[in-house]
Amino acid sequence: MHKIRLVSATALALALGACDMAPKYVRPALPVPVESPLGPAYQADISGQAAIQPTDTGWRDFFTDPRLARVIENALTHNRDLRIAVANVEQARAQYRVQRAGLFPTIAANGSATYQDTPFAQQGPGAGAGAGASGRTDIYSASVGISAWEIDLFGRVRNLSKAAQEQYFARVESRNAAQVALIAETASAWLSMAANQERLRIARDLEAAFGKTLELTRARFAKGIASELEVRQAQTSHDQARADIAEVTTLVAQDQNALNLLAGSTVAQDDLPSAMPQEDVTLANLPTDLPSSILLQRPDILSAEHQLRAANADIGAARAAFFPKISLTAAFGTLSAGLSNLFAPGSDYWSAAPSVGLPIFDFGRNQGNLRYSRATYDAMLATYEKSVQTGFREVADALARRGTMTAQLEAQSSLRDAARVGYRLSEARFRAGVDPFLTTLDAQRTLYNAERNMLATRLARAANMIELYRAMGGGLK
């Protein structure tokens, strides 16, 4: 008993004191500028309102429209892609547990009975209870031990366990990235439906206005005041609005289908937008500049770094394969020729069988595995650096869009208001017979385009807030 404990304790001490063949991991330098880009597109924040930190701001606080918040909540609960990501995390966790178990010996209990009848058996006072004249011998045994446990002197098993752990962490961050993307995609789809609902309203209002103009032109034509050309010109604007109504009606239905897919269930009618909200649906005080180190908090970049760490650990496991592999099989138990004497004094026994295997010539297998591990590390390093560069570009693009959005929105609003006044004046002058109908037709088209462009600008501004929040790593809380 004491001997097998001594063997196991010695082996465990050797394993815990083993060396690590993996290279020392050092986080790569960021392959992007330290600070945000500068230029005329990147305007400083002059609102005076303190900027929030996206990574510290929960999505429930960031999205201020309660209908949109309910849709996002529904998506986080029922979306199938997110469920797949969660299942992938559980798979990686289970694989890590399996790999980590290799660090410790598997202790198993065994019991056996052997019944043997031979013509050469000798009878005597030591025969078992089952022995008889036929030469029968019964042998019973029970033992507890470990079988072929690898003593991890060179860190092979430890590095495989660490690689599995990093893969698990990477899956966790991939799941977080999926959540961030789902929130942004759901909010964008909701806003797209809101914009199309607003576009449908604009098309219907203008179709009604153009219809009145068409009726007036036809009446003037019947009296010989207007020409057929003017009638046809009035009809083009009216028909264009009718065609847009049909097109946008389809888009609204498709937007609802997209929202249902993202939410994983049918979105309640009360949570669907009926028009583009007049107020912002998100907080507006996002930072206008930031150090590039904030990118390290993005879940997709964290996932790429865990993949890099896993590849680094795989190099250590591949290096350890060049060194001897030491394993231990040991057991302690009792053996008796009779079941009643199985645990009697003097029936105990123990065994220990250490073994060593050293690769001498493997036709380049271990060398190939090491080269593969190093190449995988290089690929993961490039993937990590590209993830950082992609994240930097996404943030820079969003900041550039935000920096010019206010000026664009003001200009578009002024253009829309001027187009409205111009249309009313041209229509009044046409009715009074001062201007030809061509002037009114141009004013109609200008107003229609101005209304649609104004709506597109408002949508772009709202979408930019969502993209900037996502690019900066928000959406996890």
Nearest to 350 by CA among 146, 152, 149: 146
Decide if 269 is inside a domain.
yes
Confidence of residue 453 (pLDDT cuts 50, 70, 90): very high
> In 10 A of CB 76, how many CB atoms?
17
357, 109, 115, 126 alpha-carbon torsion, rounded to 10°: 100
476 within a domain of the structure (yes/no)? no
Identify the bridge partners of residue 354 per DSSP, sorted by sequence position. 328
Q: What is the extent of the structural domain holding 462?
A: 34-104+154-323+365-471
The CATH number linked to 142 is: 2.20.200.10
> Is residue 100 situated within a structural domain?
yes
Please indicate, yes or no, if residue 477 is contained in any of the structural domains: no
Q: Are residues 272 and 335 in the same domain?
A: no
| Span 244-281, pLDDT tens digits | 999 999 999 999 999 999 999 999 999 999 989 988 89
Going by pLDDT thresholds of 50, 70 and 90, the confidence category of residue 15 is very low
343 and 424 part of one domain = no
Question: Domain boundary residue among 315, 337, 357?
Answer: 357
pLDDT of residue 438: 79
pLDDT exceeds 80 at position 219: yes
pLDDT higher than 60, residue 3? no
pTM of the model: 0.83
| Domain membership flag for residue 111 | yes
Same domain, 464 and 336: no
Q: Residue 378 and residue 374: Cα distance in Å, rounded? A: 6
Q: What's the helix, strand, coil split of the chain in %, to 5?
A: 60, 10, 25
* Residue 67: band (very low, low, confident or very high) from pLDDT cuts 50, 70, 90: very high
* High-pLDDT (> 90) share of the chain, %: 34
Mean of the per-residue pLDDT values for the chain? 84
On whether both 406 and 258 belong to a single domain, the answer is: yes
Q: How far is CA 281 from CA 256, 278, 350, 411, 465, in A?
A: 18, 9, 74, 22, 9
Domain boundary among 307, 334, 357: 357
Mean pLDDT of 214-222: 85
Give the pLDDT score at 45: 56
For 73-102, the pLDDT digits (tens) are 999 999 999 999 999 899 898 988 888 888
Q: Which residue has the higher pLDDT, 345 or 378?
A: 378
Average pLDDT over residues 473-477: 85
Same-domain pairing of 114 and 71: no
Is the pLDDT assigned to residue 160 strictly greater than 50?
yes
| Residues 425 and 442 occupy one common structural domain | yes
Averaged pLDDT for residues 364-388: 91
Place of tokens 């600070």: 35
Whether residue 144 is contained in a domain is answered as: yes
User: Which of residues 339, 357, 375 is at a domain's end?
Assistant: 357
Looking at the 3D structure of the chain, how many domains does it have?
2
The mean-pLDDT minimum among 178-182, 362-366, 393-397 falls in: 362-366
Q: Is 411 contained in some domain?
A: yes
Looking at the fold, whether 283 and 257 belong to one and the same domain comes out as: yes
Statement to judge: residues 344 and 465 lie in one domain:
no
| CA-closest candidate to residue 399, choices 325, 288, 245, 277 | 288
Percent of the chain with pLDDT over 70: 90
pLDDT at 66: 93
> Same domain for 449 and 410?
yes
Q: Which of 154-158, 206-210, 309-313, 351-355 shows the highest mean pLDDT?
A: 309-313
Judge whether residue 375 has pLDDT over 90. yes
**Which pLDDT score is estimated for 184?**
93
Both 346 and 382 in a single domain? no
Q: Lowest-confidence range among 152-161, 371-380, 429-438?
A: 429-438
Q: Is the pLDDT of residue 2 over 50?
A: no
Q: Which amino acid is at 363?
A: F
> 370 and 246 in one domain?
yes
Residue 252's domain is classified under what CATH number? 1.20.1600.10
For residues 230 and 318, state if they share a domain: yes
- In sign, the C-alpha dihedral spanning 360, 363, 369, 371 is positive
Is residue 405 situated within a structural domain?
yes
